[in-house]
Amino acid sequence: MINSGIDRFEKILPKRFYGLKAGLLIHPASVNRKLIHTKDILLKSKKIRITALFGPQHGIFGNTQDNMIEWEGFFDRKIGIPVYSLYGKTRKPTQEMLNNIDLLIIDLQDVGSRYYTFIWTMALCMEACEQKGIPVVVFDRVNPIGGHLNEGPLLKQEFKSFVGLHPLPVRHGMTICEIALYFKDKFYQKLDLTIIPLKGWKRSQWFDETGLPWIMPSPNMPTIDTATVYPGMCLFEGTIISEGRGTTRPFEIFGAPFIQPEKLVRRLKDFNLKGVIFRPLYFTPTFNKFSGELCGGAQIHVIERERFKPFKTSVAILLAIRELYPEVKLWRQPPYEYEFEKLPFDILAGSERLRKNIENGNYLKDIEYWWKQETKAFEKIRKQYLLYD
């Protein structure tokens, strides 16, 4: 049996935290094995007293559907405490927000990809708590796409943003507690950090092999299939191509009104990508890019997920579209995730190098070679913080 941090906290929370006023950073997927929400568990706990709630992008309840929609904090009259938004006027807790807490507890389900903003909300909370001298406790959760596979380029510091504040490869193969240990050691060394680790998880296990219930951590992350393709397909947020938002299969479906599905799929077969089949299709998004317009494109069907490389696959798609439709201005313009100057694609990719390679029509194997070197270099750092075999 695999137990998440929330399933273990009552037994292993250090006694020095007993009786403290605690803030709690959560979202819809913050549940235990029995689907009881972390908020409800901790509100009943006799070991700590919850005095404030914090929510990341999409809110505590996942109520903001689309990307980059801010939400405002409020006072929860039912439980009598404030709920603070960390995706609105601020993404880092203000000193005022931290005034009535002695401890901050974080319980967020990540999806294993650098762009996913929850780890950066955690990083900013770590920074704020370090500055104020407040201890942080992080509950660990499974990396849903496995902790044994890495892929993609490393973030360059000059391209940091809310989709990447510190160096990580795109598919990092770490749990949220392992990332927290890395952040503390490299960036927040004075922070008082405690982790509540998983029990029973092996790095090679995917989420659907754990027996744990899948709860959408955000509205456009409905299944593990979505999480599997996300490390590559989120790049499409930095383009004018629809990444499938506004459909029932976001990130698995992509396209645009000018794309001829069969023509594109024929070209994609030439790349001989492993573990994936592209099925040509038409779709009409109900919101986001090309809302209400008929788009041509394809659906990604992952047939061997251990061999499938989501980042390489998505770069191949962009190379094919660039080749077939050279007249199209592919790159979305800023702003994007609070970055107003650099291209959205560049901050997602972690530098401008990938975009320039695609524009130049470089060979896929040559592009993959340099990011493999970056992933390999980070592996030496990553190994220091791994908690599980």
CB 54 within 8 A of CB 84: yes
Q: List the CATH number of the domain containing 128.
A: 3.40.50.12170
Distances (CA, A) of 270 to 71, 105, 204, 260, 303: 44, 49, 30, 16, 18
Confirm whether 174 is domain-assigned: yes
AA letter at 246:
G
pLDDT band, very low/low/confident/very high, at 231 (cuts 50, 70, 90): very high
Q: Is the pLDDT of residue 132 over 90?
A: yes
What's the pLDDT score for residue 71?
A: 85
AA letter at 231:
P
Residue ranges of E strands in the chain: 21-25, 49-55, 74-76, 81-85, 103-106, 136-139, 151-154, 169-171, 193-196, 253-256, 276-283, 295-302
One-character DSSP codes across 91-118: SS--TTTTTT-SEEEE-----SBTT-TH
Confirm whether 386 is domain-assigned: no
Confirm whether 330 is domain-assigned: yes
Kindly state whether residues 236 and 205 are assigned to the same domain.
no
Confirm whether 389 is domain-assigned: no
**Which residue reads 């603070």 in tokens?**
84
Total domains present in the chain: 2
Kindly state whether residues 305 and 243 are assigned to the same domain.
yes
Confirm whether 381 is domain-assigned: no
As a whole number of angstroms, the distance between CA 72 and CA 63 comes to 11
Kindly state whether residues 242 and 196 are assigned to the same domain.
no
Which domain does 360 fall in, by range? 224-376
Kindly state whether residues 233 and 367 are assigned to the same domain.
yes
Confirm whether 384 is domain-assigned: no
Q: Is the pLDDT of residue 67 over 70?
A: no
SS3 175: coil
pLDDT band, very low/low/confident/very high, at 141 (cuts 50, 70, 90): very high
pTM here? Answer: 0.96
Kindly state whether residues 202 and 286 are assigned to the same domain.
no
CB 4 within 8 A of CB 38: no
Strands of the 253-256 sheet, one edge to the other: 253-256, 295-302, 276-283
Confirm whether 382 is domain-assigned: no
Q: List the CATH number of the domain containing 361.
A: 3.90.1150.140
What's the pLDDT score for residue 193?
A: 98
Percent of the chain with pLDDT over 70: 98
What's the pLDDT score for residue 22?
A: 98
Last residue of a domain, one of 191, 219, 247: 219
Confirm whether 202 is domain-assigned: yes
pLDDT digits (tens, 9 = 90+) for 356-379: 999 999 999 999 999 999 999 999
Candidates 316, 225, 200, 306; CA nearest to 268 is 316
Last residue of a domain, one of 219, 234, 256: 219
Candidates 29, 18, 16; CA nearest to 5 is 29
Percent of the chain with pLDDT over 90: 94
What's the pLDDT score for residue 137?
A: 98
Mean pLDDT of the chain: 96
Kindly state whether residues 209 and 245 are assigned to the same domain.
no
Kindly state whether residues 166 and 37 are assigned to the same domain.
yes
Kindly state whether residues 193 and 299 are assigned to the same domain.
no
Last residue of a domain, one of 219, 245, 278: 219
As a whole number of angstroms, the distance between CA 156 and CA 200 comes to 35
pLDDT digits (tens, 9 = 90+) for 174-227: 999 999 999 999 999 999 999 999 999 999 999 999 999 999 999 999 999 999
CB 83 within 8 A of CB 74: yes
Kindly state whether residues 228 and 212 are assigned to the same domain.
no
Kindly state whether residues 214 and 100 are assigned to the same domain.
yes
Q: Is the pLDDT of residue 65 over 80?
A: no
pLDDT band, very low/low/confident/very high, at 302 (cuts 50, 70, 90): very high
Kindly state whether residues 259 and 372 are assigned to the same domain.
yes
pLDDT digits (tens, 9 = 90+) for 282-296: 999 999 999 999 999
Kindly state whether residues 68 and 148 are assigned to the same domain.
yes
Q: Is the pLDDT of residue 68 over 80?
A: no
